Amino acid sequence: MALVSAKEMLENARDGHYAVPAININNLEWTKAVLSTAQAMNSPIMVAVSEGAGKYMTGYKTIVGMVKGMIEELNITVPVALHLDHGSYEGAKAALAAGFTSVMYDGSHLDLEANLAQTRDIVAIAHAQGASVEAEVGSIGGEEDGIIGSGELADPAECKTMADTGIDFLAAGIGNIHGKYPENWAGLSFETLEAIKAATGNIPLVLHGGSGIDEAQIKKAISLGVSKINVNTELQLVFAAATRDFIIAGKDLEGKNYDPRKLLAPGYDAMVATVKEKIEVFGSANKA
């Protein structure tokens, strides 16, 4: 199946009370783990790429080529959206020009008027080519690609103004943060999520910082209108742990285990297990 916009898959998720996983990729192993597990679980999926990961993989054109090639050669038939995560204004335009089918324009560091104006520009460009747009109000805490947010709670009135720009789905801070959650994390603010939902109506909502949030909070967030959940750190952690265990046990020194196809296999398998678990918890299995 060709790459699709995320609009329809998130509207289906909203109406069906589940969430589509948006999993950040870093290289071929990540991409293969995400696509093949989504296919095995019959789940719609968003393949997310941060600007930093985009540079690491040499650029957006390389990524579009890799993802399209893999969809064809792995016979992936579930809906796949290729999504830029936390894009800058120029980054969003470049990803769309390269063939991404969805972008997040993150103007959350700007004042609201500037964020709205830039978001409207990206919406016009994306919609002209059938791609979907996510925007953000209030910052998501934690650090990602050098952008540090303070984890504020978004203002529901600002969320409504942003939703009215014509974006397809909205990210809004509700106490979530990127990366590992600290011991003393207060948890998600469902009060804020309810107020945002009431103010914005039907637009699908996005939960960033999906790594490490317990199942009960995930399910409650979905019941209150979250239709897309971003996961990045958790795959990095399980990949690193499995690779570390393999090497500490001296297994890389056995036979031909220096071959990257063998050396990276435990980390790959750990990522597959994590993607499977997310699809189960988010309820997107068999929703393709």
Q: Which of residues 9-68 bind ligand 13P (CB under 6 A)?
A: 24
CB 163 within 8 A of CB 200: yes
Closest CA to 19 of 4, 34, 9: 9
Is there a catalytic annotation at residue 85? yes
Strand, helix or coil for residue 258: coil
CB 235 within 8 A of CB 271: yes
Which region among 10-18, 112-120, 128-136, 206-214 touches ligand 13P (by CB under 6 A)? 206-214
- The distance from CA 175 to its chain's CA centroid, rounded to whole angstroms, is 17
- The distance from CA 30 to its chain's CA centroid, rounded to whole angstroms, is 13
Task: Examine residue 179 and tell whether it contacts ligand 13P (CB under 6 A).
Answer: yes
User: Mask 112-141, x = binds ligand 13P (CB under 6 A)?
Assistant: ------------------------------
Query: Which is the catalytic residue, given 15, 85, 252, 269?
Result: 85
**Residue by residue, what is the 3-state secondary structure of 132-194?**
EEEEEECCCEEEECCEEECCCECCHHHHHHHHCCCCCEEEECECCECCCCCCCCCCCCHHHHH
Task: Work out which of 165, 230, 274, 284 binds ligand 13P, going by CB under 6 A.
Answer: 230
Task: Examine residue 99 and tell whether it contacts ligand 13P (CB under 6 A).
Answer: no
Which region among 93-101, 111-119, 203-211, 270-278 touches ligand 13P (by CB under 6 A)? 203-211
Task: Examine residue 147 and tell whether it contacts ligand 13P (CB under 6 A).
Answer: no
**Total of chain residues touching ligand 13P, rule CB under 6 A:** 14
Binding site for ligand 13P (CB under 6 A): 24, 85-86, 178-179, 208-211, 230-234
Residues annotated catalytic, as ranges: 85
